[in-house]
Amino acid sequence: MSLVNIGALSLETECCGTEDAPVILLIQGLGTPLTRWPQPLVDRLVGSGYRVIRFDNRDIGLSSRLDALDVPPLARFLAGRIPAPPYTLADMAADAIALLDALRIEKAHVVGASMGGMIGQIIAARHSARCLSLTSIMSSSGNPLLPPPTPAAQQALVAPLPFPHGEKVIVRDAIRRQQTLMSPGYPTPEAELEAMFTFEFRRGFHPAGVARQLAALMTGGDQRPLLAGIRVPVMVLHGKEDPLIPLACGVDVAKAIPTAELWALPGMGHDFPFALMPRFAEAILLAARRA
């Protein structure tokens, strides 16, 4: 892994595979570091002849922290009084394009999960010359008429962090939230969750960055007009039991994109079950090969 400069920012980046192979760019979701992409998925994609690039989004993990910007008051967002965010999903999409520029990569197959799926949609629509295919995983179109998260999932997303921010307290809180969101058909053992969240806490705990990313997400708006203009091959992958971004959201993404195919996976919630990584890889590779 290494920091890659993209103008005023630096993004922590990992590249796997040979430099002359076609590129798959993986974009993570809200507050989620690059390490959350399961290594078995990366290995499958590399083994299929691709160069896989994953990175920490701005304000998360080891990438640049934008602490000179305000931390948006979450209460105002939840009350419907939405101020201008410190930055937007379009800015984050521009980060991904700048990363490709810095790595001298002309085009890539784009894969985004959750908020990263919405960032990927922007790339496919607004930077179409750089996008060979898109795989949108457990994401949404931003359609305001779509069903909301379950109450428990909503709380897992926006409930305040416990204080003080000690490692054990924060890790226990993260496990509790993740258990609300994870796949009922493929539950992750608690010991694995504890190891993952302990690693992420020590690598780069930064709640202010999560708050700024959440502001970008909550002000993303209805992306359906953008989606209608996407012409690259698209796979939409969504869990049938997703409590945070319900299946109807993935259905709406697929409906809005003329080139999209939807795979709805039984037993999948809002996470990355290792047992489903072969299906994830199959969907990504199918979109790539159609390009």
pTM reported for the whole predicted model: 0.96
Residue ranges of alpha helices (H) inside the chain are 39-47, 74-78, 89-102, 115-126, 151-158, 167-181, 190-204, 207-218, 224-227, 247-256, 277-290
Tell me which amino acid residue 87 is: Y
* CATH architecture group of domain 2-290: 3-Layer(aba) Sandwich (3.40)
Q: What is the pLDDT of residue 143?
A: 97
Structure tokens at 229: 């203009």
Distance CA 62, CA 30 (A): 15
**Distance (Å, rounded) from C-alpha 156 to C-alpha 137?**
19
| 3-class DSSP string for 19-41 | CCCCEEEEECCCCCCHHHCCHHH
| pLDDT for res 1 | 76
Q: What is the mean pLDDT of each run of 10 residues along the chain (291 residues)?
A: 94 97 98 97 98 98 96 70 87 98 98 98 97 98 97 93 93 98 98 98 95 93 96 98 98 98 98 97 98 92
CB distance 18 to 50 below 8 Å: no
Secondary structure, 3-state, 184-203: CCCCCCHHHHHHHHHHHHHH
Looking at the DSSP assignment, which residues form a beta bridge with residue 221?
A: none
| pLDDT number for residue 99 | 98
271/120 Cα distance (integer angstroms): 18
Domains of the chain, residue spans: 2-290
Q: How many CB atoms lie within 10 A of CB 20?
A: 6
Rounded distance, CA 115 to CA 153, Å? Answer: 15
Q: Residue 38: is the preceding peptide bond cis (ω within 30°)? A: no
* pLDDT at residue 75, as a whole number: 67
Per-residue pLDDT at 268: 98
Per-residue pLDDT, 191: 98
Q: Which of 246, 235, 236, 251 has the alpha carbon at shortest distance from 269?
A: 246
Which pLDDT value is given to residue 83? 75
Lay out the sheet containing 51-55: strands in order across. Answer: 2-6, 9-16, 51-55, 23-27, 108-113, 131-137, 234-239, 260-265
